[in-house]
Structure 1
Amino acid sequence: MTAKEYLNRVRKQNYVVRQAEKELTMVKSDILSLKAASLSEKVTGTKESDLADKYVKLEKYFDKVIAEWDKLIDMRIEAKAMIAMLPDEAQQAVLYARYINCTEWEQIATDMKFSWRNVFYVHGKALQSFERLHGIALAKCV
């Protein structure tokens, strides 16, 4: 696995977490609208138990989001430690901004007061340094 592939896993996991959170919000909203609708009608035993079943399913969505967050946190901790080992602070900053904070290239250039070209140059050098430093660990990743 290359340095870029390894670090992109963190960015992708961040996206997975955001999508899981969005799905949880949608399901929660749907259940709350069902609850509001059922309160305005006469409630029978089956509707109440249906609503309870929905809350159980909502809890499963919540557990999924927590599991995805746990995975992201673990990935970030590991990646941050590896990035921190790079000797060049500018390289660390670019990798950290791009892969840990999921910052867009334009924003990285602005924040670091670099040209786009310089950001990409530093990024390329950082990936090379990362692979040199962590080549054995990257080879073990699947």
Structure 2
Amino acid sequence: MSELSIVPVTLAEANAYVAANHRHHGPVAGAKFSVAVAVEGAIHGVAIIGRPVARGNDDGWTLEVNRCCTDGTRNACSMLYGAAWRAAKAMGYRRLITYTLPDEGGASLRGAGWGLVGRRGGGNWNTPARPRIDTAAVLQGQKLLWEMA
């Protein structure tokens, strides 16, 4: 196999990849930018980076990797997380965050130099003040917050 490389990708292309390949999330509504990892033009993963979902993190200096999705190609996730941070930093952002499920090991994040902040959240998005359709039970528990700063 030839070498992996980071390539540009539109949000529409990244969302199509996520729709076809992500285990538990669908496409996103919007983003600041997207990147892909490819071998000889064939995409093996994408990362979609946007504003933080949690309002408390949306300080104007922080972005969030809202989706990272690969086909399992070795080192693809680490390359995407690294590229996302380099791009965000080049754009003037000071912090990049993402969340994983507790049963996801985080090897790709650690391999890209990210640090584990700790457990966050829990429950679901549905509240009396902001009615939402419940997500899958696996997504309602606490998540692990990771960051680059």
TM-score by length of 2: 0.26
TM-score by length of 1: 0.27
- Report 1 or 2 for greater relative contact order, CA contacts < 8 Å, sequence distance ≥ 6: 1
Q: Per residue, is there more helix in 1 or in 2? A: 1
